[in-house]
Amino acid sequence: MEPVRANQKIKVLIVDDSAMVRQLLTEILSSDPAIEVVGTAQDAYMAREKIKRLNPDVLTLDVEMPKMDGIQFLRNLMRLRPMPVVMCSTLTEKGADVTLDALALGAVDFVTKPKVDLAYKLEEYAHEITSKVKAASRAHVRPLADDRALPRATPSTMTIIEKLSADAILPRAAGPSHFRTTDQIIAIGASTGGTEAIRDVLERLPPDSPGIVITQHIPKAFSGPFAARMNSCSPLTVCEARDGQQILPGHVFIAPGDMHLLVVRDGAQYRCRLNDGPPVQRHKPSVDVLFRSVAQNAGRNAIGVMLTGMGRDGAEGMKEMRDAGAACIAQDEATSVVWGMPGAAFEVGAVESLHPLTAIAAKILSLANERNSARHNAA
């Protein structure tokens, strides 16, 4: 399905078994002049008929529905009529697992279920869902070819979070640092489409890869299950990062969904540092925070990787990494679900080269080997 052109309204179909949620989502999305809610459906069978008749650009889809659950409906949809889908999920462990299944099946993104009793958060929620629907309308959606390996399964007085820079967490360094360790570290940033992009990269890396730190925009309830899922499908040891953990080769540390992840030096070692400061670029965890900490504490010993994602988080931090001597690459536009974060990093001159997703792991290993050889030759 082709992305929506800039001069067209985005046609949205809302699928949810709750009449209250359908009404709330309709009001939120219809308030944006770039979006038109063309219809609603209370179950998968009604949604199927309305998709044929209304030809929406984006679907918001409830995970739990009567008659046919959202995952089975999504599985059928992505085989027969692939289109951008934003899932509506609950912030529970079960909700996290089902949502990760949906992303594996091809859903572009997800939002949590709106809570109508928390009216003071509605403005923030409205900003999130309208942004994600707009991003989904521009997403590159591909048919589901083979899923055998996949799991079956009111106006507010509150203002939107201020868009802070990484300075709010970690001041910019005055000059270049000198490093007592030559151990390499890989720093990865991702957002929309990133859970599956990260899986692709980790599955292709060998168990003796340099230590890896990852910031993926994801809620706290989802980051633990996501780390566990990556651990089960990768030859590397993957965990949700804890404060003070030593970053070791063959290990992957994923930022918790409610904390910034930083890399710090402890003598000749790298360690994880968690920070509970304010959101940066409206995100917590923020890729800019991770990348700045890597620039300051690993410099030329680091490799930066920007994967698919909405927005600009991480672009400035990756530029700081490159300026500090790190090798920096990004996913290309053709294979990105949304080429926002990689595109922004490329735009500011932070990226040395662009690569299709399936080539990212090989490029990481090539860069790591090149840098190892250069150090050995210099010695």
Measure Cα distances from 271 to 66, 192, 223 in Å: 47, 27, 19
Active site residue 191: yes
Composition of the chain by helix, strand, coil, percent to 5 = 40, 20, 40
Active site residue 217: yes
Instruction: Output the six-digit token pair for 352.
Output: 């040395």
CA distance 16 to 61: 6
- Residue among 191, 286, 293, 336 flagged as catalytic: 191
CA distance 165 to 169: 8
User: H or E stretch including 304?
Assistant: strand 302-306
- Residue among 286, 313, 332, 355 flagged as catalytic: 313
Nearest to 133 by CA among 339, 344, 338: 338
213, 261 in Cβ contact below 8 A?
yes
For residue 280, the 8-state DSSP code is: B
| Three-class DSSP category at 287 | helix
Measure Cα distances from 175 to 63, 111, 172, 295, 337 in Å: 49, 40, 9, 11, 36
CA distance 256 to 222: 9
| Three-class DSSP category at 180 | coil
| Three-class DSSP category at 340 | coil
Q: Helices 93-105 & 70-80, crossing angle to 10 degrees?
A: 10
Which residues belong to the active site? 191, 217, 313
